[in-house]
Amino acid sequence: MDLQRLCCVILAFAVVLFVCFSSSVTAGDIVHDDDDAPKKPGCENDFVLVKVQTWVDGVEDAEFVGVGARFGPKIVSKEKNAHQSHLTFSDPPDCCTALRKQLARDVIMVHRGNCRFTTKANVAEAAGASAVLIINNQKELYKMVCEPDETDLDIKIPAVMLPQEAGASLEKMLRNSSSVSVQLYSPRRPLVDIAEVFLWLMAVGTILCASYWSAWTAREAAIEQDKLLKDASDELTNAKDGGASGVVDINTTSAVLFVVIASCFLVMLYKLMSYWFVELLVVLFCIGGVEGLQTCLVALLSRWFKRAGEAFIKVPFFGAVSYLTLAVSPFCITFAVVWAVYRDVSFAWIGQDILGIALIITVLQIVHIPNLKVGTVLLSCAFLYDIFWVFVSKKLFHESVMIVVARGDRSGQDGIPMLLKIPRMFDPWGGYSIIGFGDILLPGLLIAFSLRYDWLAKKNIQTGYFLWAMFAYGLGLLITYVALNLMDGHGQPALLYIVPFTLGTLLTLGRKRGDLKNLWTRGVPERPCPHVQHENSQEFSQEFNEEK
């Protein structure tokens, strides 16, 4: 089983390297740096996503998503108030000069380029169009703004930008059908979706379960070590060796290397991202998920099937494996394979979350930070890593590397599987609320450490550090989602908010209570050695008998 644990640790750190990310995935990104194009009269609309519902020969067909322009009238928010209009090609296609024929309140489809957006809208309005759909020449959506020197902004028809793929689909409909109609409306997104509440509970609950399992295991190991130390002094070395088995302690060097290795791995993913690369990540995720699910199920079922959990058989390559592990392994493998095959169905997120949570809990059980010093270095490095690859990387790569990798923009799929996600249930735009494994694992390492310390120091829930650390993590994650909604759903580095709250709380409390030095260096409470106590009690008894 040591080999299995080692494989799980290696895979888990590969997962953490590139998933320190939290975001809400919506219908599409809106790309444009409009700081140099402020609002002004006639050009002061807020940017909103717009639904473009189509009908082909009177039958409802595909729905596309675009973004409304800064200029023109506001687009209605309710579907019942939106009018259905005939769709037609622009002639000329770029709509930069007067159209060759007048329109009867049709919606006109034009290509981007050769002139300003406002020019296209004015030409379409003059020809009698009721709205203009501008097809982008790229995959992303683009914010249509007004240039600083523009004055002809009294535009009375709405303008909507559609991505390149949507334009290609509409052109195909128009060429293959006798009649295509469209309806434009922009439903309002709820301020908070219930999916974010469930995702918050999922993240907090995962750390809670993993921390208690880790602390319970550490306390059992400490009790067992105390028993061995009381028995005989020659068992001291064996007790120390036994206490460390099955646990991997992070040191400061590995914490610093995390940033370098993580950055290299992230750039590799960014450059090599493709359909087959995502398939490889799915395989790796399934391997880790099988190991995590198996470990959790064995630990849970061993309370009822103790004999099967304590009886072992030697298996080639894996070594000694319990009968209980052999019994649950086929189920875990089947579960992961079924999820991988059907991961594109609407409810596949349930299987992905189960495998992901099991993997996170298992890693937090195996991987420990030995003291607050290592935890501070690790989280500080992750804090800088997260900010750099979500925000600063835009300056170097012209797009956020972390967000592109997490979404899988270049793979043709829904993104990498190393995420917990829940569909946005009451959001008319659909999509998922997601959180990266790293945003749970990395703070979870520090929180699990705090509970292990509390239990070994025999601190109760009020005088300990765990309750405050959990509260700080929950508050930091909550603020992440508030920032996410304020930023119109754009990806946010969750560790930007979580690390200061969680790490700052432990450092402040430790200093106030006088435990900071011990937390920083030793990481375990000072305890008298039971063996020394036993020897002292024997010497005292012998001296007392001699005096008598």
Helix (H, G, I), strand (E, B) or coil at 73: coil
Dihedral angle computed from the Cα positions of residues 31, 37, 40 and 42, in that order, rounded to the nearest 10 degrees: -50
Give me the residue label for tokens 């800088």. Answer: 384
Give me the residue label for tokens 């990498």. Answer: 416
Q: 3-state secondary structure string, 417-452?
A: CCEEEEECCCCCCCCEEEEECHHHHHHHHHHHHHHH
Chain center to CA of 147: 37
Among 268, 394, 288, 383, smallest CA distance to 20 is for: 383
Q: 3-state secondary structure string, 481-499?
A: HHHHHHCCCCCECCHHHHH
Query: Is the Cβ–Cβ distance between 289 and 359 less than 8 Å?
Result: yes
Q: In whole angstroms, how large is the CA radius of gyration of the chain? A: 30
Question: What does the block give as tokens for 23?
Answer: 């975001």
Question: What does the block give as tokens for 476?
Answer: 């930091």
In the residue annotation, 36 being an active-site residue is answered as: no
Residue 74 CB neighbours (<10 A): 11
Strands 159-162, 141-142: parallel, antiparallel or unpaired by DSSP?
unpaired
Among 524, 357, 523, 360, smallest CA distance to 444 is for: 360
Q: 3-state secondary structure string, 83-101?
A: CEEEEEECCCCCCCCCCCC
Among the options 29, 193, 427, 439, which is catalytic?
439
Query: Is the Cβ–Cβ distance between 101 and 89 less than 8 Å?
Result: no
Dihedral angle computed from the Cα positions of residues 157, 163, 164 and 165, in that order, rounded to the nearest 10 degrees: -120
Q: What is the DSSP string of 397-409?
A: HSS-HHHHHHHTT
CB contact set of 290 (below 8 Å; sequence gap of 6+): 329, 332, 333, 335, 336, 355
| CA distance linking residue 378 with residue 252, whole number of Å | 7
Among the options 29, 193, 353, 386, which is catalytic?
386
Distances 312 to 145, 292, 309, 370, 509 between C-alpha atoms, Å = 69, 20, 8, 31, 45
Among 51, 68, 49, smallest CA distance to 60 is for: 51
CB-count exposure of residue 428 (10 Å: 0-12, 13-18, 19+): middle
Dihedral angle computed from the Cα positions of residues 253, 256, 257 and 263, in that order, rounded to the nearest 10 degrees: 180
| CA distance linking residue 379 with residue 500, whole number of Å | 9
In the residue annotation, 35 being an active-site residue is answered as: no
Distances 488 to 30, 145, 190, 492 between C-alpha atoms, Å = 10, 18, 11, 11
Catalytically active residues are 386, 439
